Structure 1
Amino acid sequence: MTEPFYTDKSRVRDAFDRAAHSYDGAAVLQREVSDRMGERLDYIRHAPQRILDAGSGTGYGAVGLRSRYPDAQVIELDLAPSMLRVSRDKQASAPRGGLLGRLFRRAEPWQLCADIERLPLAAGSVDMIWSNLAIQWVNTPDAVFAEFHRALRVDGLLMFSTLGPDTLNELNRAFAGVDRHTHVNRFIDMHDIGDALVRAGFATPVMDMEKIVLTYDDIKAVMHDLKAIGAHNVTHGRKTGLMGKTAWRDISARYDAMRRDGKLPATYEVVYGHAWKPAQRPSRKLDDGSQVIEFQPRPNLS
């Protein structure tokens, strides 16, 4: 992969590894999206016995899954070993009488340090795959969806969230024209993700999108949070040296011009999707009356 906007997987792992201990303090978006994904499960009838949390980070989503499905085995999988270590430390230090303590005493937690594009799992070994804001770090969704499809049992559920191309558009506009390098990660369009689900063999895929705007006092706070969660620029076309003071001043001025009500916006285009693994691979020919992707507005979950 040589495209300048492709992510460098080794840098993705290193960035999240370094960010593990600062992650929880800055992962406001990740927790909010995880909670909204959990609300979507209220409308889906499924009783999984084994769940893979693909891109589990420091374990926030896994706690929710264990609470929702107390009899299920939840496997935490992440590319960064330090993320798994932080999750394990939180589990070990959970008060015996608290929710975490009760959940983790029911069954010993399972953790795997691995790439979601190469799952170390047998075919048909999990009933559900949950992946919160992890798929955006792969360059093409086909490989990861093929792996998810392989690992799921028949009638298994895939539920995921990822980021769309309008994410951090303000930061992207602020950096536009400063040089020929990439400065903001690029993300895949919702419709392309839906097409990839169909190619992988998933049935009745449902996709929706919403925009969540975080606000900051200045551009340094934006960049600090991105670094704290390991989400700073990891593209192949990134600039490797330090940026000059004049260029940084111009970037800051362009971003500051977007200030609203005294705050700088940072927009995230959040894409949600779920689909099922059918007994047989569905046809993709529309004239056969089959496999159509449903794109719907975000449901009212209040």
Structure 2
Amino acid sequence: MTEAFYTDKARVRASFEKAAASYDSAAVLQREVSDRMSERLDYIKFQPQVVLDAGAGTGYGSAQLRARYPDARVVELDLAQAMLQASRAKQQSGDGLLKKLFRPSLPWQVVADVERLPLADASVDMIWSSLTIQWVNVPDSVFAEFRRVLKPEGMLMFSTLGPDTLHELRGAFAGVDRATHVNQFIDMHDLGDALMRAGFAEPVMDMEKIVLTYGRAREVMADLKAIGAHNATSGRGRGLMGKHAWQRVEAAYEDLRRDGKLPATYEVVYGHAWKGGDKKLAKFSDDGRQVIEFVKKRPE
């Protein structure tokens, strides 16, 4: 990933702070991915006592975790304080599942960066991170932190976005100017390699594509803004695009219209791994190379 595509963490934080109020109304993909992650837990026999929701946002995934592990302490961590405040407000006001699961004496929330966790070594049994680590530039640092705070035999489960995400939008902006307009995301195989470098055992990765549809190109941008996920690259333009530039972008996107709708593709990458002892750190092939297991995309 080139420096032009590096994520500006200060802008990420500011974007999510501003988007807290509008996030839930536009977070269709985020809820769907969280649901699909939760389904994966059906096949994993594990009963954690302390769970870290790393990148908790407004608390949707945390509510699922509390429902699944009612005896566990779920710690919500997010870069944006306003996101955690929105989660707490929903719990206190009685927003469905969150009301049922809210425990006023245990509002475990932490404002922090996933690359610098303010948690003790070996302090959590499970880390759940849904659509968060795409905001880091190099996955090694976040995986090292995850492994540090996990207890022995603890589990990491995460989802993130792959490089084919929003390729339609990226293509529509191509040639308009020399600035970056769409965030760039890390390949699934590179994430698997990073897990192994961090010392995780038995990593399993898979990927699927989810396509949302829109009436106009500007609606794609509006949704990204509403969830705080608009362009945060260092190489982004610093001013507003002109009218003619926007017309070129919209015209290019129009070429992709099918059945009256414009597609926006998200390549969703899922992974889970364990913090094992030295004897479980890796599998090896006959020629001595470390092996990571990949599973086929599940059918729609």
Which residue does the alignment assign to 1:150? 148
Tell whether 2:50 aligns with 1:59: no
The residue aligned with 2:292 is 293
2:163–2:184 CA contact under 8 A, matched in 1: yes
CA distance in 2, matches of 1:69, 1:33: 19
Q: Are the equivalent residues in 1 in contact too, given 2:90–2:99 (CA < 8 A)?
A: no
Within a 5 Å distance, the mapping from 1:245-284 to structure 2 comes to: 245-280=243-278, 282=281
TM-score where L is the length of structure 1: 0.95
**Which amino acid letter does the alignment assign opposite residue 109 of structure 1?**
P
Find the counterpart in structure 1 of residue 36 from structure 2: 36
Contact 1:145–1:196 (CA<8 Å) still a contact in 2? yes
Q: Deviations over 1:2-34 (max 9, x none)?
A: 810000000000000000000000000000000
8 Å Cα contact 1:204-1:291 kept in structure 2: no
SS at match of 1:259: coil
Query: Counterparts of 2:194 and 2:238 in 1: how far apart (Å)?
Result: 32
Matches within 5 A, 1:165-176: 165-176=163-174
* Distance 1:244-1:134 versus aligned 2 partners, 3 A rule: same
Structure 2 partner of 1:72: 72
Task: Select the residue among 222, 233, 237 that pairs with 1:224.
Answer: 222
Deviation of the 1:285 alpha carbon = 5.8
Displacement after TM superposition at 1:106 (Å): 8.0
SS in 2 for 1:105: coil
Measure the CA separation in 2 of the matches of 1:280 and 1:153: 14
AA partner of residue 293 (structure 2): E
**Structure 2 residue matching 1:187: 3-state secondary structure:** coil
SS where residue 5 of structure 2 aligns?
Answer: coil
Residue 298 of structure 2 aligns with an amino acid whose one-letter code is P
Residue 240 of structure 1 is matched in structure 2 by: 238
Give 3-state SS (helix, strand or coil) of 1:273's partner.
strand
One-letter code aligned to 2:162: G
Q: Determine the structure 1 residue equivalent to 2:22.
A: 22
Gaps of 5+ in 2: none
Name structure 1 gaps, 5 residues minimum. none
1:68-113 CA distances to partner (integer Å, 9 max, x unpaired)? 0000000000000000000011111117xx6433311386220000
Q: Deviations over 1:184-218 (max 9, x none)?
A: 00000000000000000000100000000000000
Q: Cα 1:231–1:99, aligned 2, differ >3 Å: closer, same or farther? A: closer
* Structural mapping, 1:88-103, within 5 Å: 88-94=88-94, 99-103=97-101
Say yes or no: does 1:129 pair with 2:158: no
Task: Indicate conservation of the 8 Å contact 1:2/1:236, yes or no.
Answer: no
Q: CA deviation at 1:297?
A: 1.3
Name 1:85's counterpart in structure 2: 85
Amino acid at match of 1:159: M
* 2:213 alignment counterpart: 215
Could you say which residue in structure 2 is the equivalent of 1:197?
195
Equivalent residue of 2:53, what SS?
strand
Structure 1 Cα separation of the partners of residues 52 and 104 of structure 2: 17
Secondary structure class of the residue paired with 1:42: helix
DSSP-derived class of the 2:118 partner: coil
Q: Is the 8 A contact 2:114 2:142 kept in 1?
A: yes
Partner of 2:180, secondary structure, is coil
SS of alignment partner, residue 207 of structure 2: strand
**Structure 1 pair 190–2 and aligned structure 2 pair: CA distance change class (3 A):** closer
> In 2 relative to 1, CA 211–2 (structure 1 residues): closer, same or farther, beyond 3 Å?
closer
Output the TM-score relative to the length of structure 2: 0.96
The residue matched to 1:33 in structure 2 has which SS? helix
**How many equivalent residue pairs?**
299
Q: How many angstroms apart in 2 are the aligned matches of 1:289 and 1:46? A: 31
Give me the whole-angstrom Cα distance separating, in 1, the residues matched to 2:146 and 2:217.
37
